[in-house]
Amino acid sequence: MRLVALGIDHTRAPAGLRESVAIPAERIPDALRTLRKAFPGQEFTILSTCNRVEIYSASDSDRINAPRRFAEGADLAAALASFHGISTDEVLKHSSVHHDEGVVGHLFRVSSSVESVVLGEGQILGQVREAYRQAVAAQSVGWVLHSVFQHALKVGKKVRETTGLGTGKLSVASVAVDLAREVFDHFADKTVLVIGAGKMAELTLTHLSALKPGRTIVINRSLPKARQLAERFGGSVLEYDRLNQALIDADLVVSTTASTQPIMDLETFTRIQRARRYRLALILDIALPRDFDDRIGQLDQVMLYNVDDLRAQVERTMAQRRGGLSAAHRLIDTEVAACLASLRHQREASSVLKALGEHADRLRESELDNLYDRCPDLTEKQRQAIERMAFRLQNQMLHEPRAALRTRSRNVESTRFSLSEAVAELFGLFGSHSYRRKAYQKGPRASHEKQPVQKLVD
């Protein structure tokens, strides 16, 4: 069994190269077909995101009859370069190559977002799932990558749920929205006012739209920019000279202007709050310099948070995630060992299943030959009926053992004798006790014992 992965990511390659080798979703089926044509009999999956492009390749060497050798890292780099019409040397210069056990570990770390630009971000797990889905649709995965990617998706979810790596938000805009959720129970009757129409306003509105507020107002000195932003999110626009009235109506204020001076002083907002009848106001001032006088936050029923407050929350979240990193690595290492053991067990079961089928075929054909010798007067129609009956009987008798072998082989067994080995021993499939002696010449295996790479690789 062989595994190889070629990767170009944010740790090794400049943004320009990552953009050059990125494969759009609609072109991935073509790329998978190209790889399968170049390396017949092998399995492939392609993961392409804004921060990484990775090709995963696997094969069960016993099943490859094609004359072409197994694809190594240089071959995958050449195929990727050729697909984009760029230099292979440039791809190799900025790529990393993983083999066998290293492939499994790398994929598990990627799916767990341990190797993401933003530690613990949740998007990568969905991207790995989509890469696997596309490969399945393109029929470019076999039992090896099926097993590895299904395990990777479970590990990614488990790491996020058990280590705290996915806790909290790591952008000022998302933290601001989380804070709004803590302050208000519902938003259907709330008015959101966004002051400014730049990138930060757009990002914050993207997060705020998930809250489905009753009304959204955008105010900006440039009316066309305000209108363009408001239309995207189903909001309305007010001219900048109506800011005070908008503040009276608003329950949640997000201020993101580029003003060099505060746009709201304490005296003015004191009057505004009185006009609001001291209704609760949440103000998220994420502008630099600040748009609202800090003293406004001391007024009754006013909650004012500036960008430093929100960034402090981001830092606390990041520190919490870093604290879970060691636990995440330990969990990943354990799951890598379990995955490798599962692959080994499945491969053993595959060999046993093949041998069991051949053993049953030989017995069936031998008994049919004996029957025909004893009953030479059987017609061709009678012989065909007998052969069909014998074949069906053979399949029915082997159905349960085959199903049990396939199911049990996906799980690492803690017993000294695995089901595969027991079946081989019972039926004498590999020369009486030779299979057992070969399997246990180095002693028993623990259920999650980390096996050397040579145990996985032929």
Active site residues: 50
CB burial of residue 210 (10 Å; 0-12, 13-18, 19+): exposed
Q: Which residues of 322-345 are buried (b: 16+ CB within 10 A; e: fewer)?
A: eebeeebbebbeebbbbbbbbbbb
Strand order, beta sheet including 52-59: 43-48, 52-59, 2-9, 96-99
Helix axes 28-38, 73-84, angle to 10 degrees: 130
274 token code pair: 């009185």
Complete DSSP assignment for 118-152:
STT-SHHHHHHHHHHHHHHHTT---HHHHHHHHHH
Would you say 119 and 315 are in contact if contact means Cβ atoms under 8 Å apart? no
DSSP string for residues in 194-261 = EE--SHHHHHHHHHHGGG--SEEEEE-SSHHHHHHHHHHTT-EEE-GGGHHHHHHH-SEEEE----SS
